[in-house]
Amino acid sequence: MDIGDWLRNLGLPQYEAAFREHAIEIDVLSELSEGDLKALGLPLGHRKRLLKAISVLGAIEQKPSEAESELRRMIDHIPVLVAAYRADGSRLYVNQRVRESTDRTVVADSELAPIAMHPDDVALADGTWRACVASGEPFELEIRLRMANGAYRWHLNRRVPLRDENGKIIRWYGVGYDIEDRKRVEEKLRRSEAFLAKAQRLSLTGSFSFYSATGEFSWSDELYRIFEFEPGLRVSLELIRTRYHPEDRHVMDGVPERIRRGTTDFDYEHRLVMPDRSIKHIRVVAQGTTGKSGEGLEYFGAVQDITQRRVAEAALDKARSELAHANRVATTGQLTASIAHEVNQPIAAAVTNAQSALRWLLALPPNLEEVEHSLTRIVRDVTRAGDVVGRIRDLIKKAPPQKDSVDMNEAVREVIELTRSAAAKTGISIKLELADGLPPIRGDRVQLQQVALNLIVNAVQAMEAVADGVRDLVVATAPAEPIGVIVTVKDSGPGLDKDAIERVFDPFYSTKPDGLGIGLSICQSIVEAHGGRLSVAANQPRGAIFQFNVPS
């Protein structure tokens, strides 16, 4: 008998909906307690009536056999949700586990299988179930059920039909397993896989495993991307070989043999040729451990696409060699400028001496003695020019200076000799203040003289620029601490402002219309090559003081 008919017979049809909703059928009535009926919202009088009718029903119904009771107990207590459905898909029965563990306090969500389901799953579950009922195909679906504590848990639901002898479906039986824990693990796994894939994508690193006993490979998606193979393609050593750069085959050809011999560590780089002929550089690192079955080795490895790094390195190398070349060109320019600057003085002197030689020769009578003196000086000047060129080359090549024993006073005196006539022409008096008992300097005499000469020429040129006032040039030597010599060149020219003081030693800094701006930078290089220091300060009341020291 149907529960609806039974209630109608009792004159209580108003409870049919509540009974149906809680899946209470005739065959479970005997298990209902007074409390259950109260929970269904029946008033006391109706409860009494029902309980009486149930006891009568129990009396008429055959007492279930021991085997039947056992079966019922079993169905109620197995740790799965069990349900039976009518041929039309409406639910007929649920086991005790369903009644106890799912949320029965609220109105069911699903029309056909009244049970609390996640709202997002209802449509799919009902749709699928209807389709199965119509076609007779077994039903299988993962859905979230609301449990007694209000939380949702994933369940795998399966329902299969029972047919009569004519093949007509008379019942459906279904079970639901709690798969929440499995779902969580799956989600965690999915996430960590996604992380890994992202990391591989970002670092351009693919990973693989290889089992030597079977030759089986397992590749990550990124590795397929690096090799530009169709994802999922069965990978073998032969297939990988098709990508090798012909010149790098030798790197790889020994690998199978090394695997056979049981090598556990691999770390190598080689190139790949892609189908579009482009080249990739990869680095492969792999480590082998004894295989699961104790046979062969199981390798785990990573392959990184280092093409960008290699390309950048190549570009850097190119830039470096270009820079070196530019440097050489710049050095040549500096060399040319320095030579032009330094040979000016001796050549000018040679010209002057040549002119006077000519004069003495053309005099009547010719003064051959003076001619000889002039020619000797020409030889000296030209020799000096040659020396200067050699020293400048050394300086720019950064070769260590020659180590002569230099008497600084004598060296300075010689330089003054060279410039005295030029200075006198411009009304400049050169005052020498040479200290006695100076230690000899170990250094390059020609180079140190160039320093003094350049400082004196600059001072003379600076004072030429001032229209009036005294034109004093003091060249002094003094002992330096702890042991060495200081040379000072003081003038009464316009001096230098703050900005100029900072820049005077820079190559090509010049305020003169025909200046190269190379004189002071040569001086600085020479002094520093001798282990000394060149500095500039203001003179009082005006002018500049240039000073350098050279240790002994």
Q: How many CB atoms lie within 10 A of CB 326?
A: 10
Residue written as tokens 């199965």? 132
Which entry of ligand ATP, Mg ion, none binds 545, CB below 5 to 8 A by partner kind?
A: none
Of 91, 96, 103, 70, nearest to 81 by C-alpha is 96
Which entry of Mg ion, ligand ATP, none binds 517, CB below 5 to 8 A by partner kind?
A: ligand ATP
Please choose, out of 218-226, 291-299, 393-401, 512-520, the segment that lies near Mg ion by the rule CB under 5 A. Answer: 512-520
Closest approach of Cβ 394 to ligand ATP, in Å?
Answer: 19
Closest CB to Mg ion among residues 484, 519: 519
Q: Does 519 bind Mg ion (CB under 5 A)?
A: yes
Closest CB to ligand ATP among residues 160, 516: 516
Please choose, out of 275-283, 287-295, 426-434, 516-524, the segment that lies near Mg ion by the rule CB under 5 A. Answer: 516-524
Closest approach of Cβ 532 to ligand ATP, in Å?
Answer: 18
β-strands 297-305, 205-211 pairing: antiparallel
Closest approach of Cβ 317 to ligand ATP, in Å?
Answer: 36
Which entry of ligand ATP, Mg ion, none binds 303, CB below 5 to 8 A by partner kind?
A: none
Which entry of ligand ATP, Mg ion, none binds 341, CB below 5 to 8 A by partner kind?
A: ligand ATP
**Can you read off the two tokens belonging to residue 315?**
């570009």
Q: Does 517 bind ligand ATP (CB under 6 A)?
A: yes
Of 190, 180, 93, nearest to 143 by C-alpha is 180
Out of 102, 519, 534, 549, the residue judged to bind ligand ATP by CB under 6 A = 519
Out of 341, 445, 471, 530, the residue judged to bind ligand ATP by CB under 6 A = 341
Closest CB to ligand ATP among residues 458, 552: 458
CB 306 within 8 A of CB 283: yes
Q: Does 458 bind Mg ion (CB under 5 A)?
A: yes
Closest CB to Mg ion among residues 450, 458: 458
Closest approach of Cβ 545 to Mg ion, in Å?
Answer: 16
Q: What string of H, E and C letters represents the secondary structure of 363-378?
A: CCCCCHHHHHHHHHHH
Residues in 472-501 that interact with ligand ATP by CB under 6 A: 491, 493, 495-496, 500
Q: Does 136 bind ligand ATP (CB under 6 A)?
A: no
Out of 301, 439, 515, 551, the residue judged to bind ligand ATP by CB under 6 A = 515
Q: Does 521 bind Mg ion (CB under 5 A)?
A: no
What secondary structure does DSSP assign to 437-483, as a single string?
Answer: SPPPEEE-HHHHHHHHHHHHHHHHHHHHT--SS--EEEEEEEEETTT
**Can you read off the two tokens belonging to residue 290?**
């004894």
Where on the phi/psi map is residue 456: left (φ > 0), alpha (ψ -120 to 50), or beta? alpha
Which entry of ligand ATP, Mg ion, none binds 512, CB below 5 to 8 A by partner kind?
A: ligand ATP
CB 536 within 8 A of CB 504: yes
β-strands 484-491, 533-538 pairing: unpaired
Closest approach of Cβ 457 to Mg ion, in Å?
Answer: 6
Closest approach of Cβ 454 to ligand ATP, in Å?
Answer: 6
Of 153, 154, 81, nearest to 113 by C-alpha is 81
Q: How many CB atoms lie within 10 A of CB 370?
A: 15
Closest CB to Mg ion among residues 161, 519: 519
Cross-strand pairs, 477: 434, 487
Cross-strand pairs, 175: 82, 158
Residues in 350-409 that interact with Mg ion by CB under 5 A: none
**Can you read off the two tokens belonging to residue 500?**
């100029």
Out of 428, 448, 544, 550, the residue judged to bind ligand ATP by CB under 6 A = 544
Of 179, 218, 145, 174, nearest to 85 by C-alpha is 174
Rounded Cα distance, 550 and 552, in Å:
6
Q: Does 495 bind Mg ion (CB under 5 A)?
A: no
Residues in 438-467 that interact with ligand ATP by CB under 6 A: 454, 458-459, 462
Closest CB to ligand ATP among residues 408, 451: 451
Residue nearest to Mg ion (CB): 519
Phi/psi at 320 (nearest 5 deg)? -60, -45
β-strands 429-434, 472-480 pairing: parallel
**Can you read off the two tokens belonging to residue 31?**
């298990």
Q: Does 507 bind Mg ion (CB under 5 A)?
A: no
Out of 355, 511, 535, 540, the residue judged to bind ligand ATP by CB under 6 A = 511
Binding residues for ligand ATP, how many (CB under 6 A)? 23
Cross-strand pairs, 280: 272
Closest CB to ligand ATP among residues 99, 341: 341
| Residue 56 buriedness (CB in 10 A; 0-12 / 13-18 / 19+) | exposed
Binding residues for Mg ion, how many (CB under 5 A)? 2
Of 439, 416, 414, 552, nearest to 489 by C-alpha is 416
Phi/psi at 397 (nearest 5 deg)? -75, -5
Please choose, out of 89-97, 246-254, 290-298, 515-523, the segment that lies near ligand ATP by the rule CB under 6 A. Answer: 515-523
Residue written as tokens 């990988």? 240
Q: What angle do CA 517, 520, 526 make, to 5 degrees?
A: 135
Closest CB to ligand ATP among residues 296, 495: 495
Rounded Cα distance, 267 and 414, in Å:
69
Q: What angle do CA 537, 540, 542 make, to 5 degrees?
A: 85
Out of 71, 512, 535, 540, the residue judged to bind ligand ATP by CB under 6 A = 512
Closest approach of Cβ 510 to Mg ion, in Å?
Answer: 7
Closest CB to ligand ATP among residues 223, 544: 544
List contacts with ligand ATP (CB under 6 A). Answer: 341, 454, 458-459, 462, 491, 493, 495-496, 500, 504, 509-512, 515-521, 544
List contacts with Mg ion (CB under 5 A). Answer: 458, 519
